[in-house]
Structure formats: structure tokens, C-alpha cells
Amino acid sequence: MNKLQKDLVIIGGGPGGYVAALRAVQGGLSTILIEKEKIGGMCLNWGCIPSKSIQTSAKLYERVLEAEKFGLTGVNFSNVKPDWLLMNERANQIVNRLTKGVETLLNKNGVETIIGEGTVLEPNRVKVNDSEIECKDLIIATGSHYLLPDILQNTNNVYTPRTIYSIQKLPGSLLIIGAGVIGIEFAMLFSSLGVKVSIIDKSDKIMPYLDNDIMNVLKTTLRKSKVDIMLGYDIVELTDEGMKIKNKNEEKLIKTDIYLSAISRQGNFTGLDSLIEKRLDTYGSFIKTDLRARTSIPHVYAIGDVNGVAMLAHVASAEGTTAVNTILGVGKDLIYEMMPYNLYGKLEFASVGLTEQAALERGFIVESGKFPLIANGKALAEGNAEGLVKIVYDKKYGEILGVHIAADNATDLISESVMAMQLESTVWDVATAVHPHPTMSEAFLEAIYKGIDKPLHTL
């Protein structure tokens, strides 16, 4: 057995783990990063990157079908067909390029990486392959996995968001179980490619944490995409004839080519038995952490999906940085309300901070401003004028409490809002900041103009 001593061991090489490793070596900590499959984790290899790559193909496909609206003639664009395997091939090329880039970055910065499954023997002792590593601190970044209900087990045409890329061609129809972010994203993706898509969910609402105005845009987008959403339904059984579902009033049979189970995930606890036996606090299927990503066991941290706080790649990276900074003695509490969320589709959705409903519930004197993109010159010129920008702020002090965007590039537009809120900017600060014209970013400025109830020259 090869015996090693390090300052820090990180188990899991996803966007939480590898970012933490880079920060650690830059801070002078001798570090080993353990990854059992591929550097980049779920996000880079089977999630964020491949899905967004194929989403880009789907958007381009829809654009090509509308080519004549942009004055392009002479070619029968209706003959263009989406090829799933070619789209997948492009996605894989992008994934391979990015994973190699991360591996190179780790190597150049002196991060020692071991491919293998790590097993925690003690909070300060980890075994991987033929090595045993003693460390001062441990970061768990083992990620999560999708749950497949027993009723859907052992069926060839049932997929998860990780395995869906293995299909050999586009199906004629798809039934998605779960109307969360991932389910909605795949619904918009496949409907853009001409697949008949249905979604079922046992809840009566889809993503109730969304701002009401943004939710209305999402519902309109799904309706225009011809996605059939059935809420309040449970699965009864899966047969060769289809899936039987029921709600309070009826039972019906849904026939489809393939199924995608996009319901809840749970943290990956493999190799962590010794920690759990030492009373590592958990809740449900996740590890409980504080605002510095610390667990109940001293010198043990948990970041990313395994803590279940916010299953987003950028949150995992922020948690990894915070954990390492805490080890280095310069950590600050994470502010999860300042973490933006993104939803990708034909139309993108992004948000940061409080919804109008949440702000009212907390007792703020709430004012809001909304600006529809149909009035934005750049959006009209590009043919992407659906959606809106909404800003929620405290009327008394002008502090921006939340920003909610539905737009073609909402996931890029939200960054300005995050920065403004991080700096505790008021609506009046933003209102006096010049935005270039014509740009989509002007919609953020215009939403503030809509909300401000006094002339700018009096500010």
C-alpha cells in the first residue's frame, strides 16, 4: 500500500471538486483530487455541456425553418432534418475538448489527480486504488444520481437525463416524468426537434418558486411548443401498451416511444460509510452543511449536489471555493439567494434574488418594473422578441431584491443583475448607468425605468 500525506483530499472531480482543487493549490495546499469516472463530472460530461450543445442545434434547426422570414430564399429549407447522431457527435467533440482543457489546467497548476473510487477510512484518511492518503482536510464532492422509480426499472425504453444521449435516433414521441428544471429543459429541446412531448408530474404546479410573471411566460412557451403537461398525476403501472397514470378524477393510458425519468436526485454516498457511522449529519439523501460548506464532522466539507442545497454547477464551484477559503482562514458565508438559476430552451429563463411574492412575504415595501422584449430594438432585429425583464426592489431604499428574465439569452443577461446585487446597488445607481444601444441589456435598464416612481433628475 502506497502511503501519502497531503493537506487536502477532494473526492469528486466535477465543477465543485476541480475548482476547489485549483483554489487549494493556488493557496499553497498540497492537494489530491480523486475522480472515479471522468474529470468534469456530471455537468461537463453528461449534463450541462452536451445538453446545451444539442439545444444549440435545435435552435438553429428552428431558425432554418424560419429562414424566409429573414429574407433568405432560393433553397427549400423545409427539407432540413435533425440528425440526432450527428448532433450528439458534435456535443461529444465539445465535451472532449473541455475535459482535456480542465485536465491540462489541473496538471499545469500542480494538482495531483487519481482516477479511482475513493473510500473514506477516517475523516483524515482516504483509500483509493493502491494508495492510502492521510490528510488534514477532506472535501466531499461526489455529486448525485437520478432516481429511477421501481415501477420504471428493467424497461428498455426508459432513460434518465444521463442516459438519454444513448438513443440512436429521435423518437416520434416522448413522455417525461418530472416537471422540474431538467424535465422542462428536455421537453423544450425535443419539441424543438419535432418530437411530440408530454410531461407528467404528481405536483399541481411546475416550479412554484418562479416569479409569477416569469411562470406565465414559461407556460406560454411550453404551449407554443405543443408540450402537453399533465399535473397532479401518479404512475399506476408501465405496460407494453403504455403508461397508466391517474389523478383524483381519472385514469388514462399514455402511449409513447420512449420515457425520460427526470424526477428527484439523491447524493452519492458510496465510500462514505465510515463518515456516516461517525454521525455525519444528513437530511434525506444529502449531507447537511452550513454556509461555509462545513459538515458536522470537523475538517470535513461537502460541496455540490451531494449537499442538496442547490444542484447547479456554478453553486458547486462557489461552495468549493468557499470551503478552501475557510481552510485557508479567509472564508466567508455563502449567500444562496445571490446564486442565479438558469433554465435553457427555445427561450431561456434566469433569476437571482427574491421573487415579488417572496419579497412581500418578508415584509419589504415592494415595487417592481417590467419591460417586454417586444419593445427592445435588438430583440426585434434578431427575431427573438419573446419574454420580459422584471426587477423587484425595496421602494424605501431602492435596493434591488431580485431580477427575473425570460429571453433568448436570459442566462447571459442575468450576470449584470448578479453583479448589481452583489454590490448592493440601488435602482437609481443602475438607472444612471449608460447601457449601449441597441442591446438586449437595455431591457434591464428599461425595467428599472418602469419601476421608478419619480423623475430621474430628482434622484
Residue 361 sits in the same domain as residue 422:
yes
Residue-wise pLDDT for 363-410, tens only, equals: 999 999 999 999 999 999 999 999 999 999 999 999 999 999 999 999
For residues 286 and 269, the answer to whether their CB atoms sit within 8 Å is: no
Environment class of 147 (CB within 10 Å of its CB; exposed 0-12, middle 13-18, buried 19+): middle
Cα(349)–Cα(387) distance, integer angstroms = 9
The answer, yes or no, to whether residue 74 has pLDDT greater than 90, is: no
Residue-wise pLDDT for 27-40, tens only, equals: 999 999 999 999 99
The answer, yes or no, to whether residue 438 has pLDDT greater than 80, is: yes
pLDDT at 453: 62
Per-residue confidence band for 155, with pLDDT thresholds at 50, 70 and 90: confident
Retrieve residue 369's grid coordinates.
418594473
Cα(178)–Cα(176) distance, integer angstroms = 6
* Candidate from 55-59, 74-78, 296-300 with smallest mean pLDDT: 74-78
Residue 63 sits in the same domain as residue 165:
no
pLDDT at 107: 96
Residue-wise pLDDT for 133-145, tens only, equals: 999 999 999 999 9
Q: Is 342 part of any domain?
A: no
Over range 119-134, report the average pLDDT: 97
Residue-wise pLDDT for 332-372, tens only, equals: 999 999 999 999 998 999 999 999 999 999 999 999 999 99
pLDDT at 458: 42
* Residues 6 or more apart in contact with residue 197 via CB below 8 angstroms: 173, 174, 175, 176, 187, 190, 191, 225, 226, 227, 228
Residue 353 sits in the same domain as residue 280:
no
Residue 194 sits in the same domain as residue 251:
yes
Last residue of a domain, one of 304, 337, 370: 337
Residue 82 sits in the same domain as residue 137:
yes
Cis peptide before 455 (omega within 30 of 0): no
Residue 279 backbone dihedrals phi, psi, to 5 degrees? 65, 45
Q: Is 165 part of any domain?
A: yes
Using alpha carbons only, what angle is made at residue 291 by residues 124 and 181, rounded to the nearest 5 degrees?
A: 105
Cα(171)–Cα(190) distance, integer angstroms = 9
Residue-averaged pLDDT of the chain: 94
pLDDT at 459: 42
Which CATH number is 161's domain given? Answer: 3.50.50.60
Q: Is 77 part of any domain?
A: yes
Lookup result for grid cell 453528461: 46
Q: Is 233 part of any domain?
A: yes
The answer, yes or no, to whether residue 175 has pLDDT greater than 50, is: yes
| Count of other CB atoms within 10 angstroms of residue 283 | 9
pLDDT at 154: 77
Residue 283 sits in the same domain as residue 239:
no
Number of domain units in the chain: 3
Residue 118 sits in the same domain as residue 165:
no
Residue 273 sits in the same domain as residue 313:
yes
Cα(140)–Cα(412) distance, integer angstroms = 30
CA distances from 363 to 281, 338, 358, 368, 396 (A): 33, 19, 9, 15, 12
Task: Domain of residue 454: give its range.
Answer: 347-458
Q: Is 194 part of any domain?
A: yes
pLDDT at 148: 87
Residue 322 sits in the same domain as residue 430:
no
Over range 412-431, report the average pLDDT: 95
- In percent, the amount of the chain with pLDDT more than 90 equals 88
Per-residue confidence band for 87, with pLDDT thresholds at 50, 70 and 90: very high
Residue 286 sits in the same domain as residue 300:
yes
Cite the active site residues. 437
Last residue of a domain, one of 246, 263, 280: 263
Residue 380 sits in the same domain as residue 399:
yes
Which CATH number is 404's domain given? Answer: 3.30.390.30
Residue 326 sits in the same domain as residue 212:
no
pLDDT at 284: 85
Last residue of a domain, one of 263, 293, 320: 263
- In percent, the amount of the chain with pLDDT more than 70 equals 98
pLDDT at 454: 52
Q: Is 31 part of any domain?
A: yes
Q: Is 187 part of any domain?
A: yes
pLDDT at 144: 96
The answer, yes or no, to whether residue 455 has pLDDT greater than 80, is: no
